[in-house]
Structure 1
Amino acid sequence: MPDYKHFPLADTAEGLTEAEILNWQVQPGDEVRVNQIVVEVETAKAAVELPIPWAGVVTELLVEPGQTVEVGAPILTIDVDPGGAPASGNGAAPAEQAEPTPRPEEPAEEEMKPLVGYGSKAATTKRRPRKTAAATATTTGNGSPTAEAPEPEPGGYVPLAKPPVRKLAKDLGVDLRTVTGTADGGVITREDVRRAATPEATEAPEAPEAPVAGEGPAPAVNAAARERRVPIKGVRKATANAMVQSAFTAPHVTEFLTVDVTPMMEMRERLKQSPAFAGVRLTPLAFACKAMCLAAKRTPDVNATWDEEAGEIVYKDYVHLGVAAATPRGLVVPKVRDADRMSLAEVARAIEELTDTARQGKTPPADMLNGTITISNVGVFGVDTGTPIVNPGESAILAFGMIRDTPWVVDGEITVRKVLQLALSFDHRVVDGQQGSQFLADVGTLLADPAVAFTF
């Protein structure tokens, strides 16, 4: 007999509750091996490829691309024993013979082994209840099954549709009792549901002739026809929730500083010629990240966390530096782990690797957790500065503006210098004005005169 298992959507990172199915790597009838990638999903953190913990043959895809699914919900059915013995001598179970009803003491759940690379947290998935004689699948004239007969709905009419079709109808707000099925036996298909959800538009009236100048107002324009609606989900939804939580939980203060970074830019050109920086993409952002790590040692409050539940401020003797990166899926913030232990060249390499991976949508969710302080390079968009919002769980974020040629007074004379603006937002519960000002001034000093780093 076949042995069917349901593959549930796994919790790929702590705290995730749902994900969107991006695309399937398999189709019904495909043979799969243990830990083979079967689907790519988009979580609130990033796009993630999920492996399956069993070998067998795919029998059904339960969710269509574009649909959002809760963690733990089944998304695929697999036969892990496709070569099992047939139920009868001719190789097929009689349609009229129902499987025995499971005993009450029979376990309803089975433990699913954790996916490789996703920790030891076990997930559970429920088997579909076996059909009794009263709930046997409806058959066509040739004896082939069509769709499962669900529980009767009010009024006694039972529309025939498979579970994925029922899910689609629920998502689109379609009452299946109002839909006429076009498949064999009157079974309702996905196309039937979509047609019911989007009925054919009525014939538009002929457009009136354009008015002659001075002979009345112009015809009204249908604004809705020039609008488009995009569901709030994935990275955009997660970012919105996090920013609202932070903005209305942590009292924000933002301070600004304008800095002459000409010495830093000159040092950057010299270092680019050094063998130690061969093949390194040494950007001004790397200098700013290194300066933040050094300045955080003198002002550890900016690298701390307010623990409301414990009633404590948690000071961290390490810097997991978040680097905000714009991607096609929205803003993500991968972390440079232990950035305070890295050299300038190592920081530059880490930033390049993380941002390249983020733009490809391949950042593992674990790489975006547990940051301690963040930098946002708004200058890459030609912006001078902004008022960034602190990421939840952190106490400070620095906006790094565009470096511009600007008239500047040096030794009493006006000259053109490389100048940028910095903006530091911080949680005033953890960081007071003196501490925030000291940190911002230290970062500015290190960028204006990198040799000061020897004194830290």
Structure 2
Amino acid sequence: MPEFKQFLLADTAEGLTEAEILSVRVQPGDEVTVNQVVCEVETAKAAVELPIPWAGKVTEILVEPGQTVEVGAPILTVDVDPAGGASVNGSAPAAEEEMKPLVGYGSKTVTTKRRARREVTPEAPVTKGGYVPLAKPPVRKLAKELGVDLRALATSVDGVITREDVQRAAAPAAPTAPAAAPVSSGARERRVPIKGVRKATAQAMVSSAFTAPHVTEFLTVDVTPMMELREKLKKHPSFAGVKLTPLAFAAKAVCLAVKRTPDVNASWDEAAGEIVYKDYVHLGIAAATPRGLVVPKIRDADAMSLAELAAALEQLTTTAREGKTPPADMLGGTITITNVGVFGVDTGTPIINPGESAILAFGAIKDMPWVVDGQLAVRKVLQLALSFDHRLVDGQQGSQFLADVGAILADPAMAITY
């Protein structure tokens, strides 16, 4: 007998709620094997290839490229017992059929059956300690940030409160106004849907800007000694085959300076009423890619040598620009560097990544006049900018951290004192 199973969009990273279908690599009638990649999706973090956990024959494709689907939605149907006589036009499985999740993402079974809708109405208000509505973690977080009580909302999708429900509740009532005349985009405009990495970046930056009180400080540094050391180390055997960039020195300086000012590497847990101090550095590196801004992490960067950091940076940036950074590598950062100098920019006022307390902007290194021992000279100079969360980092702490980073870059020999 034919046995049909639906391949569902699994949560490929913590908090994923939806993804855009980039491509479907099979057609009805195709035979598939275990772990064969059947489609590629773009999440809020990166492009991800999805392997199928069973072998069989594809009977139906339920999505198309460009479509955005929610986690748990079916992507395609497979007859896992094609010898039983199933045809390409075989019937789809019942909605209640239990399905296994994506290979590599756990063994817990999931089901496409949804709970019955429970709607909160004015006639049946919910009190504290009563019914707790269904909502995904990112939606609960958004509601908390916007001051929306989930228990007071009516749901729009099968009893589960969505991001749109929360945003609708938070939006002020707009006054009635005459309808505006339609505007044609014409040949000199184009409209692109807000989705994928761009949508996730926008939401994260707005959330951070209006949640964490930002303070930004600036420091101009003579890094001539650092650049001279760089040229010397490039010829050293331990750096053979390694692309040693100024950013690697900045990464090392940040990891060393964190030891003196651990507050910049901590996080603010509003729900628990706690500051979380971390005895490790998962260093985020902001990278511009064709899909938008992404911030992959170098895990345990504080335990790496300068050569190891340089190699990790090269691999990280190459993978990010190719759009192949795994979603898991975007999570769990503790502090971030954004290299605006690569674009020839002096500095800026960067926005802190959500969940972190500080971000360092690393500017362009330029030849500039500088006073050395009372004499004017041409030196290699850069500007640094540090934005920090003033809830847990005071001005003294932020200033101390920025000064320590600058001191190490101005005189790398200072590193041995940290």
TM bracket, shorter-chain basis: 0.7 to 0.9
Shift in Å, 1:75: 1.1
Distance 1:12 1:334 in 2: 16
Q: Write the distance in 2 (CA, Å) between the matches of 1:384 and 1:119.
A: 46
Q: 2:34–2:54: 8 Å Cα contact kept in structure 1?
A: yes
CA distance in 1, matches of 2:22, 2:185: 31
Runs of 5+ in structure 2 lacking a partner? 115-182
Letter in 2 for 1:302: V
Mapped partners of 2:408, 2:86: distance in 1: 76
Which residue identity is paired with 1:415? A
Does the 8 Å CA contact 1:272/1:278 hold for their aligned counterparts?
Answer: yes
- Note if 1:249 corresponds to 2:236: no
Q: Is the counterpart of residue 454 in structure 1 residue 416 in structure 2? A: yes
Partner of 1:206: none
Aligned counterparts of 1:343 and 1:323: Cα–Cα separation in 2: 17
Distance 1:86 1:234 in 2: 37
Secondary structure in 1 aligned to 2:82? coil
Corresponding residue number in structure 2 for 1:269: 231
- Equivalent residue number for residue 308 of structure 1: 270
Preserved contact between residue 252 and residue 306 of structure 2 (Cα < 8 Å): yes
2:297 counterpart residue number = 335
Secondary structure of the 1:324 match is strand
Larger Rg: 1
Change in Cα spacing, 1:47 to 1:455, as seen in structure 2 (3 Å) is same
Query: Secondary structure in 2 aligned to 1:225?
Result: coil
| 3-state SS of paired residue (2:83) | coil
TM-score (normalised: structure 1) = 0.74
AA at the equivalent of 2:360: L
Indicate the residue corresponding to 2:30 in structure 1: 30
In the aligned structure 2, how far is the partner of 1:256 from the partner of 1:288? 15
The amino acid of 2:317's aligned partner reads T
Equivalent in the alignment of 2:350: 388
Instruction: Note closer, same or farther for the CA distance 1:285–1:83 as it changes in structure 2 (3 Å cut).
Output: same
Shift of 1:85: 4.8
1:83 equivalent in alignment to 2:45 = no
Distance in 2 between the 1:86 and 1:366 partners?
38
In structure 1, what is the Cα distance between the partners aligned to 2:395 and 2:306? 29
SS of 1:226's equivalent in the other structure is: coil
**Offset of 1:33 from its aligned partner?**
0.7
Amino acid at match of 2:197: V
Q: Which residue of 2 aligns with 1:65?
A: 65
1:405 to 359, 364, 367: 367
Residue 111 of structure 1: aligned partner: 98
Give the corresponding residue for 1:47.
47
Q: Structure 1 residue aligned with 2:110, among 111, 123, 134?
A: 123
SS at match of 1:426: strand
Structure 1 Cα separation of the partners of residues 3 and 107 of structure 2: 25
1:358 maps to: 320
Aligned twin of 2:128: none
Mapped pair 1:426 → 2:413: no
Aligned in 2, Cα 1:35/1:243: closer, same or farther, shift over 3 Å?
same
Partner of 1:295: 257
* 1:386 to partner: Cα distance: 0.4
Shift of 1:108: 5.2
In 1, Cα distance between the equivalents of 2:108 and 2:260?
39
Superimposed CA distance per residue, residues 280-337 of structure 1 (whole angstroms, 9 cap, x where no aligned partner): 0000000000000000000000000000000000000000000011000000000000
- Structure 2 distance, partners of 1:252, 1:357, is 30
Q: Deviations along 1:342-396, whole A, 9 cap, x unmatched?
A: 0000001111111111111010000000000000000001100000000000000
Query: Secondary structure, in 3 states, of the residue corresponding to 1:83?
Result: helix
Between the aligned partners of 1:310 and 1:49, the Cα distance in structure 2 is 36
Q: Is the 8 A contact 2:217 2:399 kept in 1?
A: yes
- Name the SS for the 1:58 alignment partner: strand
Q: Provide the rounded CA distance (Å) in 2 between the counterparts of 1:226 and 1:404.
A: 38
Q: Which moved more, 1:243-252 or 1:57-66?
A: 57-66
**TM-score (normalised: structure 2):** 0.80
**Counterparts in 2 of 1:280 and 1:300: CA distance versus 1, 3 Å:** same
Q: Closer, same or farther in 2 for the Cα pair 1:86/1:334, shift >3 Å?
A: closer
Unaligned regions of 5+ residues in structure 1, if any?
94-98, 128-220
Residue among 226, 229, 233 paired with 2:188: 226
2:280 counterpart (310, 318, 328)? 318
**Identical residues among aligned pairs (%):** 82
Alpha-carbon distance, 1:236 to partner: 0.3
Equivalent position amino acid for 2:297 in 1: K
Distance 2:86 2:61 in 1: 24
Q: What is the CA distance between 1:113 and its match in structure 2?
A: 2.3
The equivalent residue for 1:188 is none
- Decide which moves more: 1-10 or 328-337: 1-10
Alignment partner, residue 330 of structure 2? 368
- Verify the 8 A CA contact 2:18 2:68 in the aligned structure 1: yes
5 Å-filtered alignment, 1:428-443, equals: 428-443=390-405
CA distance in 2, matches of 1:293, 1:53: 41
Q: Which amino acid aligns with 1:349?
A: A
Amino acid at match of 1:9: L
| Cα distance change, pair 122–294 in 1 and its aligned pair in 2 (3 A) | farther
Residue 223 (structure 1) shift: 6.0
Counterpart-to-counterpart distance in 2, 1:64 and 1:236 = 21
Q: 1:120 to 1:244 in 2, by over 3 A?
A: farther
Residue 402 of structure 2 aligns to a residue in which SS? helix
Q: What is the count of residue pairs matched by the alignment? A: 348
* Alignment check: 8 A CA contact 1:35 1:115 kept: no
SS in 1 for 2:112: strand
Structure 2 Cα separation of the partners of residues 119 and 323 of structure 1: 29
Could you say which structure has the greater relative contact order, defined with CA pairs below 8 angstroms and 6 or more residues apart? Answer: 2
Give the letter for the 1:119 counterpart.
G
Find the counterpart in structure 1 of residue 376 from structure 2: 414
- How far off its partner does 1:61 sit? 1.1
Whole-angstrom distance in 2 between the partners of 1:122 and 1:277: 48
> Would you say the 8 A contact 2:60–2:77 is kept in 1?
yes
Q: Over aligned residue pairs, what C-alpha RMSD do you find?
A: 2.1
In 2, Cα distance between the equivalents of 1:35 and 1:348? 34
**Closer, same or farther: CA 31–408 of 1 in aligned 2, 3 Å:** same
Distance 1:285 1:310, change over 3 A: same
